[in-house]
Structure 1
Amino acid sequence: MTNTIDRRTLLRLAGASAGTAVLAGATLTGAAPAGAAGGAFRHGVASGDPLPDGVLLWTRLTPTDEAQPGSGVGPEAEVTWQVAADPDFATVVAQGALTTGPARDHTVKVAVTGLAPATTWWYRFGYAGAWSATGRTMTAPPADADIDRLRLGVVSCANWEAGYFSAYRNLADRGEVNLVVHLGDYLYEYGTGEFDAGGSVVRPVLPAHEVLTLADYRIRHALYKTDPDLQALHASVPWVITWDDHEVANDQWSGGAENHTPATEGAFAARVAAARQAYAEWMPVRTGADGAIYRRLRFGRLAELSMLDLRSYRSQQASGSAVDDPARTITGDAQMSWLKSGLAASTARWKLVGNPVMIARVDLATLPAWLLGPIGRLLGVPENGVVLNPDQWDGYNADRNELVDHLRATGTRDIVFLTGDIHTSWANEVTTRATGTATPAAVEFVVPSVTSDNVNDFLGLREGNALSVLGADLLRATNTHVRWTELDGHGYGVLEVTRQQCRMDWYHLADRTRPGSASRWVAGWSVAAGSSTLRREAAPQA
């Protein structure tokens, strides 16, 4: 049955500019601005994981000056919360109170239920007679609703020391985004100067050392939540988030990480437990009873979004022909089964996958073994070619083949992978030996980093230099399924989902090291419903 949504609801769902203008002026008299150095709610407000009948709300209370993040001190305190149908809170539809304290680092998370679907809501928190800044969020449409359009802001890889989070501010100011999808590396674990802006620290992290303990991770999360651009985007729309490796340590796998030395840094399991606890406290994200973060959200009949966890269950990274070993996994058996069955059974038009690391093949200086034939096996060439980055799905060929084979066997179409991790911009068609080079099984849009170093930063050259351009040209020449790539820009993506197509537009910053940097459109690619072939798009009309 068709569920008709009126124009007012569609405008709400489309995040109309007028709604953003209202939000900008919605901070109440007497409320401490979200970014205030003092005030009880100095770390801002956020919402996440919207459902048709509810949404998750978040804030952090500073009840006394000594109750600093990671300190483990300060009193228990009661925080009130309200959800309203208007920014002035004339019509409060839900409210309550809960107690927080040092055991959860004075963070507050409320799973609000009983709300109407496909509706814009305003929310705030209260303590000791003062209100927080006002946030705006939305509930998802019913699972059977026919909606025309959904716009997602897509981001990844925000390194504090490498610059300012102007990409977040630009997204918040667009006024058209319904939802932000963050694909991981929300923060970085490094100590100051260990990973910055091409060798220069733009702004130093806290704590100054690499984060290892629960207190360390809490302090690092708190630092990020003081950024005014991040606060603005959190307060304007709900987020759907997953983690990648740097929320714990670089190149994390289920039993360790490249950036973890047990002899000097202690048991890896203890570090993971500390990082995961801080993450659960500080992020507006729902987790399962066992701490699992992979989950699925639906937006009417138009789209279903499956968010993956590609760190907690994966085998250690390998190289050479070991990347073909079917005993190795990037997803783990349970998550792979959940992913395959969910995609195949979905009745949504578009099946979106929040995929922290690239799934498309990137062959380096060789054809894949399945094109070389027996000589490829004799030379020890991996099935899909010499692997450039074994931390991606390239390092786990059996899992990628299993997923693609299942999609082909079940006739599952209209799959779009949304990817982060590698700091650069790509539009890919997903191919394997089974698909051949002409019949891709899905498409993939990879967004650039918010600030983390790219190719030109590592080279110490300007953006768009000859070496970066040559590198992009070579990647496309040796990987025909890579339809476009750009290796230098920092910024974000905007995905527009309609019944007819999914379109990604990439926007890059003028200068990540400058506060308030503007962004510019650099490319657009789309895929039509029923197809897995990408097509280039012109710049969107202003």
Structure 2
Amino acid sequence: MRLRIDRRTLLRAAAVGALAAPGLVRADRPVLTHGVQSGDVVRGSGLVWARADRPSRMVVEVSEDAGFAHARRVEGPVLTPDTDFTGKVRVFGRGRTVHYRVTAEDLDRRVASDPVTGSFRTPPARQEGVRFVWSGDVVGQGWGIDRDRGGMRIFRAMAERDPDFFLHSGDTVYADGPLTETVALPDGSTWRNLVTPEKLKVAETLTEFRGQYAYNLLDENLRAFAAAVPQVNQWDDHEVTNNWYPGELLADDRYTEKRVDVLAERAFRAYHEWVPLDPRRALDGRVYRRLPYGAHVELFVIDMRTYRDANGANTGPVGRILGERQARWLVDGLASSQATWKFVASDMPIGVQVPDGTAWEAVANGAAGPPSGREAELAWVLSELRRRRVRNVVWLTADVHYTAAHHYAPERAAFTEFDPFWEFVSGPLHAGAFGPNPLDPTFGPEAVFVQAPPAPNTSPAQGFQHFGEVEVAPDGELRVALRGQDGRELWSTALPTMA
């Protein structure tokens, strides 16, 4: 596919606000360019995000009423070029549903932008249930926003499920995935990408990394979903570059900056500017954190990217994919949780073989027998959970671009010092579909359900886009469903609690 873009496409992108320029917006007052988002909701509060087109102050009105009766004013940060004119502020509500209305005020306070509204639900009381959805992988493998095909329609399907929140399991953007204006499809039709300058090449500069997030928010479905459903975000590899690890030097000719650590720091800054994630809740200010959501649900968001060792044979007595500090934090947190169900939000699956050329990218190393390499670190986590009698732990993940339900059991495994558990895989949201990948026998996984495409890099036009749904009833009963692009249920199961 050749990289090409015409003037009409660039103007179309700018007109819907991706790269709001002074000549394309009202000159007399600020403009909120990319809608609003909320995230990292905890008891009584949530983080609200917005972006303006110029220096201004973010102001949020908060109310328990959709009409904003008795609204309370919260002054947020000044939006400046230092943060790409983005900002976020934690707002507090007095009821279950919190309505917010964001404006950007000129710094002299004479004029303000048109308001943009959103809402989020705070954690429920014990007598109420919880429903949330999860998935990952957005605008990957060359599949951008085709507005003639309705854009990223899966976000509308997820919104129709009316979830309490959305867990984004990584690959929130594809910073290493340039777009072309058109892509020929197998049926003879043409996929027509909306394209912006930052999506014409791999991201290397801070501006280019910022442009990845700006691009995704051009989609009307995503903007509407983000205004209505709070997010819990984690990252994986494509926020930086494919299969990256700390200290890596790239051999990819598309990059002039070969040092992954330099790229990762720029990507990390753009990620935190554009994603409604509260760094104060993260243990090291980056990604991994725990978020309780009522009596029955607690999320443990992990980071399998930042603390890993180099991709390689993934053998030997010890490997790292969490790092010692994060691994201990995870075990201690799960052991101390009072929630009925503890969900580990993992950016990669445990037992799926994910190659990186001749090396290994994820936990599994494709070898039968005792845990080795990164498997040894996960074996320690699983054995500690058994030793401390931590029950009702469920793993949720994405990454591999198909959907599956995996059950792990010691009677099928080479390593037996763990309690049986489920891992549910979903995705992609809007990317090429792949798979399924082989399973590694070390922890005894069984693929109870799989839906994958007939060929690699199947386009969103052909379906095979997926999200998962978790529903916990007021009495604590758990139901997990795997759903297709239109929200249709493909498979589901109910899990009993274990004492």
TM-score after normalising by structure 2: 0.79
Residue 257 of structure 1 deviates from its aligned partner by 7.0
Superposed CA offset, 1:473-498 (max 9, x none)? x8699976221111122121111123
Superposed CA offset, 1:410-430 (max 9, x none)? 111101111010011110123
In 2, Cα distance between the equivalents of 1:315 and 1:194? Answer: 37
Q: Which runs of 5+ in 1 are unaligned?
A: 1-31, 64-75, 365-386, 456-467, 510-517, 532-542
State the partner residue of 1:162: 143
- CA distance 1:198–1:187, change in 2 (3 Å): farther
State the partner residue of 2:56: 77
Match of 1:304 among 298, 323, 329: 298
Q: Which runs of 5+ in 2 are unaligned?
A: 1-14, 106-110, 145-150, 366-373, 454-463
State the partner residue of 1:503: 479
State the partner residue of 1:484: 449
Q: How does 1:145-156 map to 2 (within 5 A)?
A: 145-156=125-136
- CA distance 1:260–1:91, change in 2 (3 Å): farther
State the partner residue of 1:349: 340
- CA distance 1:129–1:477, change in 2 (3 Å): closer
Partner letter of residue 504 of structure 1? V
Is 1:417–2:398 an aligned residue pair? no
- CA distance 1:527–1:388, change in 2 (3 Å): farther
Is 1:203–2:193 an aligned residue pair? yes
Assess if the C-alpha contact under 8 Å between 1:429 and 1:481 holds in 2: yes
Is 1:188–2:138 an aligned residue pair? no
In 1, Cα distance between the equivalents of 2:126 and 2:488? Answer: 32
Q: Secondary structure at the match of 2:208?
A: helix
Residue 353 of structure 1 deviates from its aligned partner by 0.9
Residue 500 of structure 1 deviates from its aligned partner by 4.2
- CA distance 1:91–1:263, change in 2 (3 Å): closer
State the partner residue of 1:42: 33
- CA distance 1:195–1:156, change in 2 (3 Å): farther
Match of 1:333 among 313, 316, 324: 324
- CA distance 1:38–1:525, change in 2 (3 Å): farther
State the partner residue of 2:94: 116
Q: Secondary structure at the match of 1:426?
A: strand
- CA distance 1:41–1:204, change in 2 (3 Å): same
- CA distance 1:268–1:480, change in 2 (3 Å): closer
Q: How does 1:285-434 map to 2 (within 5 A)?
A: 285-287=277-279, 288=282, 290-319=284-313, 323-360=314-351, 390-395=360-365, 396-431=374-409, 433=413
In 1, Cα distance between the equivalents of 2:487 and 2:122? Answer: 29
In 2, Cα distance between the equivalents of 1:388 and 1:403? Answer: 27
Partner letter of residue 271 of structure 1? L
Residue 202 of structure 1 deviates from its aligned partner by 4.0
State the partner residue of 1:66: none
Residue 146 of structure 1 deviates from its aligned partner by 1.6
Is 1:95–2:65 an aligned residue pair? no
Residue 78 of structure 1 deviates from its aligned partner by 2.2
Match of 1:224 among 211, 216, 219: 216
Paired-residue identity, %: 26
Instruction: Give the total of aligned pairs.
Output: 434
Q: How does 1:279-290 map to 2 (within 5 A)?
A: 279-287=271-279, 288=282, 290=284
In 2, Cα distance between the equivalents of 1:292 and 1:194? Answer: 34
| Cα RMSD, aligned residues only | 3.3
State the partner residue of 2:369: none
- CA distance 1:480–1:278, change in 2 (3 Å): closer
In 2, Cα distance between the equivalents of 1:197 and 1:404? Answer: 46
Q: Secondary structure at the match of 2:489?
A: strand
Match of 1:177 among 138, 158, 163: 163
Q: Secondary structure at the match of 1:293?
A: coil
TM-score after normalising by structure 1: 0.73
Residue 121 of structure 1 deviates from its aligned partner by 2.9
Residue 197 of structure 1 deviates from its aligned partner by 8.6
- CA distance 1:417–1:330, change in 2 (3 Å): same
In 1, Cα distance between the equivalents of 2:100 and 2:340? Answer: 30
In 1, Cα distance between the equivalents of 2:220 and 2:448? Answer: 36
Structure 1 segments, 4+ long, off by >6 Å, are 32-37, 194-200, 474-479
- CA distance 1:257–1:416, change in 2 (3 Å): farther
In 2, Cα distance between the equivalents of 1:276 and 1:300? Answer: 30
